[in-house]
Each structure stands twice: as structure tokens, then as C-alpha cells.
Structure 1
Amino acid sequence: MNYAADHQSNTSQEDSVGRLMKAIVVATDFSERSDRAIRRAKLLAREHDATLHLVHVVDNDQTQSLVLAERNASTELLEKLTLSLQEIDSVKCDFHVVLGKPFFGINQAARDLQADLVVIGPHRRQLLRDILVGTTAERTIRTADRPVLMANGFPAGLYSRAIAASDLSIYSETTIRKAKSLGLLDRLNTSLLYVFSDPGLALMNRASLSDDEKQTYIAEARNRAEKEVESFMDRIKLDGISTILQPSNGSIAETICKTTQDLSAELIVVGTCSRSAFTRALIGSVTEGVLRHSDRDVLAIPPPQNEAVP
């Protein structure tokens, strides 16, 4: 990866003992969407005493004169933004201008800078349809080898409540552990949300059952789900996380988003791989649905690279 400009802030080396998240990369294209990402990343950097790395990618698939012009213009803007974050917001900050494709440049910069977290703005919502596939945000998350935070909400302050969506798989376990290891769930009211579905629930709605019979069936399905969640929580042994069970009334992703809204949570934690995923590069349909529809921040965590997806 070529760094067209690499302005490093002169910060002293501090004792990193006890610091869980040391480096945050935030991608910016100078749009209002990426401004939202910078504001969230700034709050996280201050909260965790982390260094903030601003990254802008210049597409090098154009004439050399345009590449040079965009590089110079973005360098000037980033210099001013970095100075503001350092002097006004008291954030340790530097910037990097990268040449390449946006999603590749963002992830490569995160690897080179050994970032613990990548923060991006929300994907562009299409005029005729709301689709995530093919956007820079989607490609960044799909190819990332580290957690990516999509800043959908307006950053009014620090997070206070988080929802960790789980399918109770081994990948869900590593997702929650990773979020905890970064310190992102510290001091938050965190709930594990399991949206349970039963093939019989859909059939029951079409059957000639009384309301009492339907309620009995739902109660039995919930009881089975409660036992599964209890077993999962016993396995992961993480304190300070409550549990929420919700029946699936159609889309699991929409149920996750609605529950998050109802509880006024600002953050949803999801894994990019589930027990239904086929390949490492495939984002699970539930995660994709959450990323597409949520108006709250979404932390997407990939599985460990040394774990093969069956």
C-alpha cells in the first residue's frame, strides 16, 4: 500500500498497561456520513485513551493528474482536521492518505497500523431501494479481519446500552468475547439477545387453534429457548450480561433492530459469520439485514482468522 502522505503526531509513548483498545482507524471521504464516523471514533478514542488514525483513500484508477490533485486536497483537509482533534478535542491523532480502492485501502491501512477497531460511516441508502451489497461499507466489512463499527446513529455521547445479538453458536461466543476484550462493553448495560424461531410457529398461525392453544405453544417454544440460552451463558461464563428472548415474527434482523429501538440501546454487536454461513467472505443474512436496516451503531466482528468456517 502506498501512503501518499503520512503525517504523524508527536505523542509520547505512554504506559499501555490496562489499555485494551490502543489504535482506532476511522475512514473519511469528507462526507456528512463520514463526519458521523469521526465523531463516534473521537468519543471512543477519548474514552479508551487510544490513538485515532484518520484514513482517506484516493482511487488510483484515474489519471495521474487527478490522483495528485485529490491527494493534495485531501492532505490539506486532513491536516486541519487532525490539528483540530489534537488541540480542541485532546485526542491523539494522525492521518494517512492511501492510494487504491476504498474498501481495500481502509482494511490494509488498519492492518499496517495494527488497529484494534475500524470505524466507518453508514452505507449510502439508494433512492429506489435500500441495498447494502456492493457499497464501500459492505465491502469493508466483508473483507475485514478485525472489528468494524458502522456509525449509523448521531453521536450525542458515550454508549450506555448495548445489544449483543446471538445465535448461540461458537462464532457468537467469540464475537461477544472479542467485544469484551476491546473494552467496548465496559460500563455498559449489555444484554444478549436471542431471537428464537420454531417452524411450528409459522404453521400455528395458519392452524385452527384457539388463542390459549397458541399461547401454550409459544410458551413451550420459549421454554426450550430459555434452556438453550442458559446453557450458552454457562459456557461463556461472562458476568454482567443479561439475556433477552424474542420470538421471530418474520425477519430476525428486523426483530433485532426493533428490540434495540424499544430498549433505547445505541449499539448492536453482531458477528459476520454464523452457523449458517458457507464461506469466510459471506456475511450472514441476519447480520446483513441488521447493517442494512439499523439506525443504531453496529459493531460487526469477524471470526478469528485461524478458525475455518465449516
Structure 2
Amino acid sequence: MKAICATDLSAASEATIESETCLECLGRIGVEEIHLVTVIPSNVHAGMPGMDFEERRERALARYRRVIEGAGFDVDAHVVRGTPHRRINGVAEAVGANLTIVGSRGKSPLENRVIGSTARNLARTTVVPLLVNRIEREADDPDVLREHLFRRILYATDFSENAERAFEAFSYLRHATREATLVHVETPKDPPLSNGDDPEARLAELAARLEDWGIETRTEIRSGDPADEILAAEADHEPTTILVGSRGHSRLRRLMLGSVSEDVVTRASGNVMLVPPDRAA
């Protein structure tokens, strides 16, 4: 597997790269090759007064490379210019990446939104599964909030096609997952399930598949607003990562209403792994 690790060379973005435990987790799920991507905004120029971008960038990337190679990965670095989320997605497509990782500062008491613009835009547009890795906010030398990225997974499903696509990620996450909580949130607008199935039966079927892999699994059905209930389940069970699929709403619908997956990525306290729809669909 190939992973994109997006970095803006800040102390926060270093946290995942320099966390031995996070790197170990990536290795356990099959990542062998990591592509470091740093994007220089189009309006920033190396010759601007007080801006020694070239030297800072080279020092940082050399340090990151040593750390990642020391953990046993092949490493490549990409320095590109433009809009961060577009260029990150472009590199992911160009190298055939299986996963994109972006660090995000944790929640501020004064903010309703917890992730930066690049992470938020990636959540809306990512072309491969996206891991938003939550980083300590109020720290000069920040660390990741959940080191064991995939040890405890909270999987949220509405039994849609894309939710099933997200569940397929367990085919590789299982190598690093010990516990899983499977959550379905009922709402009055739920479409009927096919073949007369009920949510409990569907969750039990999914749980049996995970238990065959030796993952300790629980199931839970909640009622209410899907995003609110998924986040309430996060507070109850304290997973290391929430796993959720995106339905890929149109830009207009997203701007008007938002999507459940985007709300979860934006408001979650811990890590979130977002699986986008199959682009061929």
C-alpha cells in the first residue's frame, strides 16, 4: 500500500510523521511506501522578506525522511505549488495512493469547527480514503491524541453502498484492530432495508465477519440526528478512529445542508477515517 502524508512543515503536522506508534500502525495495515507532500501556496514566494522557505523545507523534509525510512518505509517527497487540497489529491492520483493522512489540531473551546481548511476541503474532495489524525491543540510541542490509530474502531453505517465500501477497509485495518463498535442511527427518513432485513440483523452479520478475524465487536442502534449520535457514541466508547463512508453529495447540497460524514470529520474529538465513493460509480 502507498500512503500520502500531507505536511505544512508545522509542529502539528510533524506529530504523525514522528510518532513511532502511528508509523507502526501504518505498517501493520500494509503501508510500505509513504509519499510526503508539502504544498506551497501560490501567493507565497521564496524571495519574500523574512521567508526562508527553501532552507526550512529542505531541512524538515530531510528530517522526516530519516524518521520514516528508519521505521522501514520507502519514502518519496513531493514539493508542489497551488491550492493544498487540490494538489494533495493530484499527487494521490498520480502515485496510485491507497490512503491520505493529514494532521489536524484538536478542538478549541472557542470554536465549533475543529479542523483546518485543508483537512476540511480534503474531507469534501478526497479521491482515496482519508485519515484525519487529531493533534493536540494547546501545546508548543504537540503530540497525536490517539497513537494507536486503528486499535479501536467505531464504524458508522446507514447500510448504503458507500457505507459498505467503508466496511471493506477492515480487510486491511483488521491487522491493527482489536475492538470494533458498529453503530447504526435510525431516522424517520430511513429507506426500508432490502429483503425484509432489520438493522439488528444487518449489524449482527457485519459483527460476525469481524469476529471471524478475531476482533472483539459490539453493535449499537441509536435514534436521532446521525452526526450527533455518532459523536455521542464516540464520547461513550472512546475509539481511536471513527470509520465512516461519504455519500458524495453535490457541492450545492453540501453547502446548503452539509453531510453526515462531513459533520463527523469536522466535529469529532479523535481521528476520523473517511472513505469516499468509488469514482467509477
Residues 27, 55 of structure 1: 8 Å contact kept? yes
**What CA RMSD, in Å, does the superposition of the two structures yield over aligned residues?**
3.3
- Aligned-residue offset at 1:293: 1.9
Instruction: Classify the secondary structure of the residue corresponding to 2:90.
Output: helix
Work out the CA distance in 2 between the residues paired with 1:192 and 1:180.
12
Residues 52, 91 of structure 1: 8 Å contact kept? yes
- Aligned-residue offset at 1:290: 1.2
Residue 247, structure 1, aligned to residue 222, structure 2? yes
Instruction: Classify the secondary structure of the residue corresponding to 1:74.
Output: helix
Residue 227, structure 1, aligned to residue 201, structure 2? no
Equivalent residue for 1:50? 32
Can you list the C-alpha shifts for 1:256-287, whole angstroms capped at 9, x where unaligned?
1221232232111011217xx44699495221
Residue 74, structure 1, aligned to residue 57, structure 2? yes
What percentage of residue pairs aligned between the two structures are identical? 22
Residues 36, 155 of structure 1: 8 Å contact kept? no
Work out the CA distance in 1 between the residues paired with 2:253 and 2:38.
24
- Aligned-residue offset at 1:133: 8.5
- Aligned-residue offset at 1:131: 2.7
Report matched runs for 1:254-269 at 5 Å: 254-269=228-243
Normalised TM-score (structure 2): 0.77
Work out the CA distance in 2 between the residues paired with 1:107 and 1:56.
12
Work out the CA distance in 1 between the residues paired with 2:145 and 2:114.
20
Residues 3, 97 of structure 2: 8 Å contact kept? yes
Work out the CA distance in 2 between the residues paired with 1:144 and 1:232.
27
- Aligned-residue offset at 1:298: 0.4
Can you list the C-alpha shifts for 1:76-134, whole angstroms capped at 9, x where unaligned?
210122113323x3333232211111111211111122111000012675774323687
Letter in 2 for 1:24: A
Work out the CA distance in 2 between the residues paired with 1:27 and 1:159.
19
Letter in 1 for 2:183: L
Equivalent residue for 1:148? 130
Residues 123, 137 of structure 1: 8 Å contact kept? no
Can you list the C-alpha shifts for 1:170-192, whole angstroms capped at 9, x where unaligned?
22112212x134x0233522232
Work out the CA distance in 1 between the residues paired with 2:146 and 2:115.
25
- C-alpha change, 1:31 and 1:125, in structure 2 (3 Å) is farther
Determine which of 143, 156, 160 is the counterpart of 1:169.
160
Gaps of 5+ in 2: 135-143, 190-195, 212-216
Report the count of equivalent residues: 254
Report matched runs for 1:201-220 at 5 Å: none
- C-alpha change, 1:55 and 1:278, in structure 2 (3 Å) is closer
- Aligned-residue offset at 1:71: 3.6
Letter in 2 for 1:136: T
Equivalent residue for 1:186? 175
Work out the CA distance in 2 between the residues paired with 1:272 and 1:123.
22
Letter in 1 for 2:24: L
Can you list the C-alpha shifts for 1:125-176, whole angstroms capped at 9, x where unaligned?
5774323687111111211111000001524335321111011112211221
Residues 162, 247 of structure 2: 8 Å contact kept? yes
Equivalent residue for 1:286? 260
Work out the CA distance in 1 between the residues paired with 2:231 and 2:55.
41
Determine which of 152, 172, 197 is the counterpart of 2:187.
197
Gaps of 5+ in 1: 1-21, 200-224
Letter in 2 for 1:300: L
Residues 42, 52 of structure 1: 8 Å contact kept? no
